[in-house]
């Protein structure tokens, strides 16, 4: 066991992949000599050279589009998009090209591209630096969407993403980059399905589902609820596509209540999909409607008021109260 | 134009032709070897490349141009008869496609847009497979790796970036090969796109990336003058070939209806790319004689006089004149070409009718390369749903 931050864990995971897979390479703006604006790729250009760690022109569509070509030639490119709100110039390449080439070729071609995107708010940043666009991509078949919430998962999930033959969007919870945790570099501890959801806290009265940056918030809310004598289960999804409904369903059948928390706006978000599926699968086990805690239907607000926008302990506790009142 | 970008000794001579267009807005000269009158002219650089084309090769050019035109007619007819959902005619652009396609080597990888039926023919793609997409039985149709000919891309210009990335991969492979003394032939990539697509941001980004990394890619723009109903003048203020200068690599305008010049220029460009000298932009100046697709009507947006003027520059007619005048082909040859074309049309017609409609289960199977639970779940639902109809039928009996 080694203790490290999430940022360092991703850095070490990338280092392991670059070492193990000669065809893997990193590409993005400022990822080489600067080491990335969050230093996630720090030191890698020194170790692997500028053929494996490319400082690219400033062009998101160009980064993803050329990564597709490299993947078609047998390489394993890992792209960095500097911030969530800047992924949109590449949206076309991701949704109309990357997601569909395997299907269009009836499985003859694979495009194992990984796109790393630091996402989410809570760091007091300016416009376009705090968004959570995961639902936009999860809605597109052909893509896998994952997000780690702790250092151990970050270290292993980035390596699994690079090994995966499908395109993977790897959403990094940027406000947790400096969160330290223990990493077992010997043993991933992941099941045969590396992206299975994880019950991080067991309970019997209600279930809170979260992923990425909100997992620590959900855990804190669950801990606070114990002071009121409540026993709350917390699930870290880890993967949004595929989404592990089985684990959520099993938990709901035990607790009868479900709260879903994510930073993205609730309307059309992943929470709605989970709520709908769980009502189909476990309607008679539900003691209360599924409640979503998420962002408002507005552009991500200015940093000085983001606390009012972001799901926090109090908002989750309020949702728990509403659920438990049924 | 920096001398490092050109093969030794060609810079001065190339400057005398079209490749070295002066200021961006100024008209660019056009490389032409075989004129509309069917007479062979000369060019200080490209005549040497044209000399490599022997009479047999010229007859192949003619045969392929005639075959693909005949195929185009047949596909258009099939669409009109409701056998294809849509067709994208290439008539008028045969020289641009057959000439450039024949300049490529088997190890070169081609990224077409969606009108490169002539290039597909040259790359040995079964033309019946090419029709699958237009018949609505596939979103692809052939295995791109078999002939190094990628699937058609309907989103304009997206493939130009894939081409550059692929070329960057070739570059890496070649470094690796050099380190291991491999004797694999050097490769390059051709990215096809049109004058309309040249307005897309992806073309700009692909040229920036290609220039920055000296990627072995040839951008082959078929300027056919119309993006559906919008003329080239709305896409660009300057000749498209001149844009290359702004990115820092050579741009050449070639008479796209002159198969000899197209072949010569493309061969030069591919050699340039394979030798590690970086990208080249070729603007093949041509004309789409028919509609953009079978869904539009050119009489609504352009003058028939314009079409007539371009018909005077027909790529097949001028090569036929040349072959006849030089005694390189006789009547029997042209009769044979016509018979071959009719045979191809017959083949295409019969195979189109026979193209199998896939089972939707095939679509479930290829969304992801690895197991995805949602796909398995939805397929299981579909199987159960379908089975319900089967048991209904049994009950009915």
User: What b/e readout covers A160-176, taking b as 16+ CB neighbours within 10 angstroms?
Assistant: bbbbbebbbbbbbbbbb
Per-residue pLDDT at A190 exceeds 80: no
- Cβ-nearest to B206 among A62, A72, A245: A62
Asked if residues A170 and A195 have their Cβ atoms less than 8 Å apart, the reply is no
Q: How confident is the model at residue B180 (pLDDT cuts 50, 70, 90)?
A: confident
Q: B161, A66: Cβ pair inside 8 Å?
A: yes
Query: Rounded mean pLDDT of B102-126?
Result: 98
B170 shares contact with chain A (CB less than 8 Å) = yes
Query: Which residues of B fall within a CB distance of 8 Å from A65?
Result: 158, 160-162, 164-165, 202, 205-206
Per-residue pLDDT at B21 exceeds 60: no
Per-residue pLDDT at B14 exceeds 60: no
Query: Which residues of B fall within a CB distance of 8 Å from A107?
Result: 365-366, 369
Q: B165, A72: Cβ pair inside 8 Å?
A: yes
Query: Rounded mean pLDDT of B177-202?
Result: 93
The torsion defined by the Cα of A301, A306, A309 and A315, in degrees rounded to 10, comes to 180
Calculate how close chain B gets to A23, using CA atoms only, in Å.
Answer: 10
Q: For residue B359, give the DSSP letter.
A: P
pTM for this prediction: 0.95
B129 shares contact with chain A (CB less than 8 Å) = no
The torsion defined by the Cα of B164, B170, B175 and B181, in degrees rounded to 10, comes to -160
* pLDDT value at residue B6: 42
* pLDDT value at residue B395: 65
What's the CA gap between A171 and A213, in Å, rounded?
10
Q: B370, A109: Cβ pair inside 8 Å?
A: no
Per-residue pLDDT at B24 exceeds 70: no
Range list of H helices, chain A: 6-20, 44-48, 60-72, 91-92, 101-104, 134-138, 151-163, 215-226, 245-255, 270-282, 306-309, 313-324
Per-residue pLDDT at B368 exceeds 60: yes
Per-residue pLDDT at A286 exceeds 50: yes
Least confident segment among A220-234, A273-287, B12-26? B12-26
Please state, in angstroms and as integers, the Cα–Cα distance from residue A142 to each residue in A44, B37, B149, following that order: 30, 53, 23
Least confident segment among A27-41, A181-195, A219-233, B102-116? A181-195
- Cβ-nearest to A105 among B140, B172, B365: B140
Range list of H helices, B81-111: 94-103
Residue positions of A annotated with a catalytic role:
129
Q: pLDDT, tens digit, for every residue of B147-159?
A: 999 999 999 999 9
Search chain B and give the residue with CA nearest A75. B169
* pLDDT value at residue A128: 96
* pLDDT value at residue B4: 33
Calculate how close chain A gets to B11, using CA atoms only, in Å.
Answer: 28
Residue positions of B annotated with a catalytic role:
288, 292, 301
- Cβ-nearest to B165 among A66, A141, A166: A66
Q: Name the phi and psi angles at A189, rounded to 5.
A: 70, 10
Q: Does the interface predicted TM-score (ipTM) exceed 0.90?
A: yes
Query: Which residues of A fall within a CB distance of 8 Å from B140?
Result: 104-106, 108
Tell me what the pLDDT averaged over chain A comes to.
97
Asked if residues B218 and B270 have their Cβ atoms less than 8 Å apart, the reply is yes
Q: pLDDT, tens digit, for every residue of B278-287?
A: 999 999 999 9
Calculate how close chain B gets to A74, using CA atoms only, in Å.
Answer: 8
Distance of CA A310 to the CA centre of its chain: 17
What does A140-151 look like in DSSP terms, one character per residue? STT-EEE---SH
Q: Which residues contact A99 (CB under 8 A, 6 or more apart)?
A: A140, A141, A142, A143, A167
Calculate how close chain A gets to B157, using CA atoms only, in Å.
Answer: 10
Q: Which residues contact B109 (CB under 8 A, 6 or more apart)?
A: B148, B149, B150, B163, B166, B170, B187, B189, B190
What percent of chain B shows pLDDT beyond 70? Answer: 92
Q: How far apart are the first and last CA of chain B?
A: 80
Q: Which residues contact A304 (CB under 8 A, 6 or more apart)?
A: none
Per-residue pLDDT at B13 exceeds 80: no
Number of cross-chain residue pairs from A and B with Cβ atoms under 8 Å apart: 141
Query: Rounded mean pLDDT of A224-247?
Result: 96
By 3-state DSSP, what share of chain A in percent is helix, strand and coil, each rounded to 5?
A: 40, 20, 40
Closest to B229 in 3D by CA, of B133, B303, B315: B303
Search chain A and give the residue with CA nearest B189. A69
Q: B165, A65: Cβ pair inside 8 Å?
A: yes
Tell me what the pLDDT averaged over chain B comes to.
92
Residue B295 in 3-state DSSP?
Answer: coil
Q: How confident is the model at residue B396 (pLDDT cuts 50, 70, 90)?
A: low
Q: Name the phi and psi angles at B254, rounded to 5.
A: -125, 150
């Amino acid at each position: 066991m080694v203790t490290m931050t999430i940022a360092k864990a991703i850095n070490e995971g990338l280092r392991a992949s670059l070492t193990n897979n000669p065809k893997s390479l990193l590409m993005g703006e400022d990822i080489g000599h600067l080491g990335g604006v969050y230093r996630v790729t720090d030191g890698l250009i020194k170790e692997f050279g500028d053929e494996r760690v490319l400082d690219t022109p400033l062009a998101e569509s160009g980064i993803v589009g050329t990564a597709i070509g490299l993947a078609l030639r047998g390489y394993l490119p890992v792209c960095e998009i500097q911030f969530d709100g800047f992924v949109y110039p590449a949206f076309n390449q991701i949704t109309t090209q990357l997601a569909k080439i395997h299907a269009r070729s009836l499985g003859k071609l694979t495009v194992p591209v990984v796109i790393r995107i630091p996402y989410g708010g809570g760091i007091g940043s300016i416009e376009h630096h705090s968004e959570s666009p995961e639902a936009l991509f999860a809605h597109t078949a052909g893509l896998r969407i994952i997000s780690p919430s702790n250092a151990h998962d970050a270290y292993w999930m980035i390596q699994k993403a690079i090994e995966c033959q499908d395109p993977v969007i790897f959403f990094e919870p940027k406000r947790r980059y400096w969160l330290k945790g223990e990493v077992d570099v010997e043993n991933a501890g992941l099941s045969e399905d590396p992206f299975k959801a994880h019950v991080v806290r067991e309970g019997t009265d209600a279930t809170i589902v979260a992923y990425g940056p909100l997992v620590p918030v959900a855990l804190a809310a669950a801990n606070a609820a114990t002071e009121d004598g409540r026993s709350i289960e917390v699930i870290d999804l880890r993967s949004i596509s595929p989404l592990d409904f089985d684990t959520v369903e099993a938990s709901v059948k035990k607790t009868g209540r479900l709260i879903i928390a994510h930073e993205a706006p609730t309307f059309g978000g992943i929470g709605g999909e989970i709520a709908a599926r769980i009502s189909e699968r476990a309607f008679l086990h539900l003691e209360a409607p599924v409640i979503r805690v998420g962002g408002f239907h507005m552009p991500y607000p200015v940093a000085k008021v983001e606390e009012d926008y972001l799901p926090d302990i109090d908002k989750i506790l309020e949702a728990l109260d509403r659920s438990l009142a049924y | 134009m920096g001398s490092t970008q050109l093969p030794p000794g060609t810079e001065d001579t190339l400057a005398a032709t079209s490749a070295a267009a002066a200021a961006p807005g100024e008209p660019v000269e056009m490389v032409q070897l075989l004129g509309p009158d069917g007479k062979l002219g000369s060019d200080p650089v490209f005549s040497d490349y044209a000399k490599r084309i022997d009479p047999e090769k010229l007859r192949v050019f003619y045969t392929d141009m005639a075959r693909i035109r005949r195929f185009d007619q047949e596909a258009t007819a099939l669409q009109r008869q409701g056998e294809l959902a849509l067709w994208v005619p290439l008539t008028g652009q045969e020289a641009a496609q057959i000439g450039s396609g024949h300049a490529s080597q088997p190890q070169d990888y081609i990224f077409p847009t969606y009108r490169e039926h002539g290039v597909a023919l040259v790359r040995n793609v079964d033309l019946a497979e090419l029709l699958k997409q237009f018949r609505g039985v596939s979103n692809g149709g052939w295995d791109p790796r078999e002939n190094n000919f990628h699937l058609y891309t309907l989103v304009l210009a997206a493939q130009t970036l894939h081409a550059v990335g692929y070329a960057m991969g070739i570059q890496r492979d070649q470094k690796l090969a050099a380190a291991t003394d491999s004797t694999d032939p050097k490769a390059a990539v051709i990215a096809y796109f049109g004058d309309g697509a040249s307005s897309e941001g992806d073309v700009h980004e692909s040229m920036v990336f290609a220039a920055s990394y000296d990627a072995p890619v040839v951008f082959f723009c078929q300027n056919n003058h119309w993006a559906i109903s919008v003329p080239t003048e709305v896409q660009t203020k300057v000749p498209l070939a001149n844009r290359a200068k702004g990115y820092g690599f050579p741009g050449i305008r070639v008479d796209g209806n002159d198969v000899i010049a197209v072949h010569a220029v493309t061969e030069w460009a591919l050699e340039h790319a394979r030798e590690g000298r970086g990208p080249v932009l070729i603007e093949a100046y041509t004309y789409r004689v028919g509609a953009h697709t079978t869904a539009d009507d050119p009489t609504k947006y352009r003058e028939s006089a314009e079409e007539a003027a371009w018909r005077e520059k027909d790529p097949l007619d001028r090569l036929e004149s040349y072959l006849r005048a030089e005694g390189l082909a006789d009547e029997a040859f042209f009769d044979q070409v016509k018979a071959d074309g009719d045979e191809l049309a017959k083949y295409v017609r019969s195979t189109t009718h026979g193209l199998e409609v896939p089972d939707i289960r095939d679509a479930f199977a290829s969304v992801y390369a690895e197991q995805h639970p949602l796909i398995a779940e939805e397929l299981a639902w579909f199987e159960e749903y379908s089975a319900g109809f089967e048991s209904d039928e049994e009950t009915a009996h």
